[in-house]
């Protein structure tokens, strides 16, 4: 496996359970898992860029990304493969040094460029069949954290990032 310097996450179905709630005023409401968020902070602590790449656009995603310190947020991506290639060029890395977690067929073209791919347990069958790792947990319920821990272990970074908690 190439060294991974960036992990890309889809939102709906990965960082959330895929449900979309809309208030009477038209505001979109999403529920994020706090352990997923802490996992993203662990990645960043180890020098791994975290990227949110989603086909939808919502203020709540901007807010959550800002809260976690994620600077690379791509929303409204109609073609995730092109968006990933643009991002890679902008931040100066090869897509092959990226990991990607997605749950639906729209993620597959971008995933094909990455060296390590993940899907939540409840991803569509076509995605589950094509990724490197399928988590035991569903999207929005700790699947991203599970994938993050797998990545950190494969990179030999898990014990180092956990040292501060083991004391």
Q: What are the residues whose beta carbons fall under 8 Å from the beta carbon of 165, sequence distance 6 or more?
A: none
Residue 2 scores a pLDDT above 80? no
- Which fold does the domain 6-166 belong to in CATH? Rossmann fold (3.40.50)
pTM of structure: 0.95
Query: Is the distance from CB of 74 to CB of 51 less than 8 angstroms?
Result: yes
Residue 1 scores a pLDDT above 70? no
For the chain, which residues make up each domain, given as ranges? 6-166
Alpha-carbon distance 86 to 106, whole Å? Answer: 17
Q: Which of 99, 74, 83 is nearest to 6 (CA)?
A: 99
Residue 58 scores a pLDDT above 60? yes
Burial letters for 133-154: b for 16+ Cβ neighbours within 10 Å, e otherwise? ebbebbbbbbbbbbbbbbbbee
Q: 26 or 39: which carries more pLDDT confidence? A: 39
């Amino acid at each position: 496996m190439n060294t991974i310097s960036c992990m890309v996450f889809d939102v709906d179905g990965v960082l959330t359970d895929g449900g979309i709630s809309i208030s009477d005023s038209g505001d979109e409401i999403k529920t994020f898992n706090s352990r997923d968020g802490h996992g993203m902070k662990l990645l960043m602590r180890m020098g791994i860029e975290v990227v949110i790449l989603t086909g939808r656009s919502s203020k709540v995603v901007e807010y959550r990304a800002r809260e976690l310190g994620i600077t690379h947020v791509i929303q409204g991506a109609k073609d995730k493969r092109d968006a990933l290639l643009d991002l890679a060029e902008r931040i100066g890395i090869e897509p092959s040094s990226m990991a990607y977690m997605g749950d639906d067929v729209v993620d597959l073209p971008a995933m094909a460029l990455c060296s390590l791919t993940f899907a939540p347990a409840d991803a569509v069958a076509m995605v589950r069949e094509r990724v490197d790792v399928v988590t035991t947990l569903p999207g929005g319920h700790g699947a991203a954290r599970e994938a993050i821990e797998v990545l950190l272990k494969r990179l030999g970074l898990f014990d180092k990032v956990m040292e501060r908690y083991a004391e």
